[in-house]
Amino acid sequence: MKTRDQLALDNLLRITALVKGCAIAGFLFLAASALAQPNPNSIIFSKHNLSVSGPGALRSSTEREVCVFCHTPHNATGDGPLWNHAMSAAAYTPYSSSTLKAVVGQPTGASKLCLSCHDGTVALGMVGSRPAPIPMQSGAATISSGRSYIGTDLSAHHPVSFDYQSSYAASAGELRAPATLVNNVRLDRAGQLQCTSCHDPHNNQYGTFLVMDNTASALCVQCHSPNQWVGSAHATSTAVWNGSGANPWPHTSGTTVAANACENCHRPHTAGSPKRLLNFIPEEQNCLVCHSGTVATKNIASELNKVSVHPILQTSGIHDAAEDPLNAPRHVTCVDCHNPHATKASASPALAVSGSLANVRGINAAGAVVPAISYEYELCFRCHGDSEGNSGTVWVQRQYPQTNLRQAFNPGTTSFHPIEVIGKNSSVPSLIPPLSVASVITCSDCHNNDQGPLNGGSGPNGPHGSSYAPLLERMQQLNDNTPYNAANFALCYKCHSSSVVDSGSAASWSSHQTHLENYRAVCTTCHDSHASSNSPHLINFNTTYVTPYNGVIQYTSTGMNHGTCTLTCHDGSGQPIVHNAQTY
């Protein structure tokens, strides 16, 4: 017979067994529930599960443990959190850029751990907790291709293992301070940006193991903050690809410009061009893949094949974002005139430039570099002003040559078309209203697409290409001895009334009619379309058709609409005519 103490002990054991049984049953119930409703974002269902149960093409033929490919509870290597995988001994080529502020060297920390598999130099099954490498199916021992393959050349991948310092954000102006990083974007304990700042190797909720959804580049803008990006066309446009030509977004699932955002042009891994991680090597292709009527409605690509163009297709690979805006090697690219991070569909009411030219560098009227132009001519002065080698093609041989248009349009010049300020002539009766002597014009009023909106066409606006050289918005005959036709002077007659200019009824205009119709001269034979440093009324003779008389080519103004000329020109058949202080 048991004593009272023995009975009490038996009861205690029964209670303990009952509690244990309930706990085990509860655990099994929870486990069964978990199996019945598995977490689809678990590493078990991702390509990082390299065991025999993994869903990817790369998986073991025998190993059943999931975590063993990276971690071990005992005898870890010390390279990371209970690290088990053999480390790579490769030397890497890091990302570099002329605009990069940080110092990027060899991968460290978590990035080096990731590369122990993703650089393709170490077998996936090389782990310290197994006496031999874990065998993989189909003999695929390493990652050697596809999106998972990084390799040892990191120059076309987003930089990693660098100190993300607050000073970089302050100096570059387009980065967020490291203290402001949120939404699971984190630096490592040393303050470095690593692979794990963007990727969580244990959670594939957002695809490619991203730490957050990157629709509309939401992940990118956690660190990057381009000036005027918010509200820009590439951040907000709902345009879609129409299926023609090359796929503009081959590496994303986004179907609109806004959804792709940064990735319209950039690719964080295996970029086509290492320079600034662009999608395509020909820099202009990053723009033209969309701006060829396939995504954007206007076809810029077709403009670049016209008779007269800005030679974008002839100068690929020369532009550098860090170049001197005044004296860069001679070239022109899309991003010389457009800032893709800031371009907008409409202009700012505070600026005299279109939204497509928002936040573009330029040269102001004083010759100083400005980070964001306020007037269109400041952009043109980048190449057509003080820059070295600014000779270009001379379309008209002038008595007083002037290729520096910043100086030509200087208000101190004797006469000029009113680009910067209103003109000096107080009476211009040929102007077509609403134009007046108080009006100012822009470079693109004359230099533009001949099939664009200024000419009643449906083509894109801007001086990308024209059927009339030099990039003229309408026809303007530059050669003498052509029978008079008003259509040959369409550009001039856009602002100046042909019925006034080509009229013999008023004495002040009769000489124009005589020169145009009888002598078959053109406007540019006497007038410089830009400016004249020595004569009023834009008089700057074309020396191809106007030659000296007794060594003199001279125009002298003698009052409103009157003057004298001393020179040799020609009649309608090309025979020389002498003007010796000829009055008109």
- Annotate 489-528 with DSSP letters as a single string: GHHHHTTB-HHHHT-SSSTTTHHHHIIIIIS---HHHHB-
The single-letter code of the amino acid at 173 is G
Residue 363 has φ and ψ, to the nearest 5°, of -120, 125
Other C-beta atoms within 10 Å of 456: how many?
7
Whole-model pTM: value is 0.88
Tokens of 312: 């974008």
Q: What is the pLDDT of residue 138?
A: 86
Task: Tell me what pLDDT residue 67 has.
Answer: 97
Q: Does residue 247 sit within a domain?
A: no
Q: Which residues pair with 139 in a beta bridge?
A: none
Q: Which domain holds residue 476?
A: 405-583
State the pLDDT at residue 16: 38
**Residue 563 belongs to a domain:** yes
150: in domain: no
pLDDT at 139: 85
Query: Does any domain span residue 348?
Result: no
Instruction: Determine if residue 405 is left, alpha or beta; phi over 0 gives left, psi from -120 to 50 gives alpha, anything else beta.
Output: alpha
CA distances from 292 to 260, 284, 361, 386, 531 (A): 18, 11, 25, 33, 36
Structural domain includes residue 360: no
Q: How far apart are CA 375 and CA 353, in angstroms?
A: 5
Is 499 contained in some domain? Answer: yes
Instruction: Flag residues of the chain having pLDDT under 70.
Output: 1-38, 172, 347-351, 391-392, 504-510
**What's the domain count of the chain?**
1
Q: Which of 62, 218, 59 is nearest to 143 (CA)?
A: 59
Local structure of 531: helix, strand or coil: strand
Contact indicator for 564, 556 with CB cutoff of 8 Å? yes
Beta bridge partners of 549: 552
**Does 10 fall in a domain?**
no
Inside any domain, residue 239: no
